[in-house]
Amino acid sequence: MRKIAILAALIPASPAFAASGPFFSLGNTDFVVTLGFLLFIAVLFYFKVPSLLGGMLDKRADGIKSELDEARALREEAQTILASYERKQKEVQEQAERIIAHAKQEAELAADQAKADLQKSIERRLNAAEEQIASAEANAVKEVRNTAVKVAVSAAKGVIAKQMTATDGNKLIDAAISEVGEKLH
């Protein structure tokens, strides 16, 4: 109800009801405004403003269309470049995997070679150690023999010195000289 009362109060105050008198007179502001508006529209059509506006809008639409076409072309080119880079990245990844696999193979071969070289080195060192032990053993045996000979000679010398007389010693010296003389001639 309240809304209707507000509308009823506003209707008498509208500009259409403000003018009094005939509509087609220059004293009526509504008629003058309508006449000015029609004259403005006529001037616009006389100077072909709607066709100019239409042409400008068409130009703008053509510009937007060409920009969209260019954007599509750039997008397609970017997609082509992206696909190319993805292929290259995949190729590089595969190449890196091949290089890694090759490096692993070479590392395994190098490790096997190092093991073989280490085994050979160990064998050489063992052989050298065995030779040194054998040499040391031979030297020890030789020293023991020499010591045994020295001890035996010294013991024999002592025994012979106690048991031998001067005449027996002279006989032995003469026999040794004659034996040396026979062996030398």
Same domain, 132 and 59: yes
Same structural domain for residues 68 and 115? Answer: yes
Q: Are residues 39 and 86 in the same domain?
A: no
Q: How confident is the model at residue 109, as a pLDDT?
A: 94
pLDDT tens, the chain, 185 aa long: 454 544 444 444 445 555 566 777 878 889 999 999 999 999 999 999 989 999 999 999 999 999 999 999 999 999 999 999 999 999 999 999 999 999 999 999 999 999 999 999 999 999 999 999 988 888 888 888 888 878 877 877 777 777 777 787 787 788 888 888 787 76
pTM: predicted TM-score of the whole model, two decimal places: 0.39
The alpha carbon torsion through 135, 140, 146, 152 (nearest 10 deg) reads: -150
Q: What is the pLDDT of residue 21?
A: 64
In terms of domains, do 52 and 142 share one? yes
Note the pLDDT of residue 12: 45
Q: Are residues 26 and 96 in the same domain?
A: no
21 & 89 share domain:
no
Per-residue model confidence (pLDDT) at position 15 = 52
Distance, CA of 18 to CA of 123 (rounded, Å): 127
Q: Are 31 and 22 in contact (CB under 8 A)?
A: no
Asked whether residue 69 falls in the same domain as residue 81, the answer is: yes
Question: Residue 5 sits in which domain range?
Answer: 1-47
In a domain, 97, yes or no: yes
Q: How many domains does the chain have?
A: 2
- Phi then psi for residue 68, to 5 deg, are -65, -40
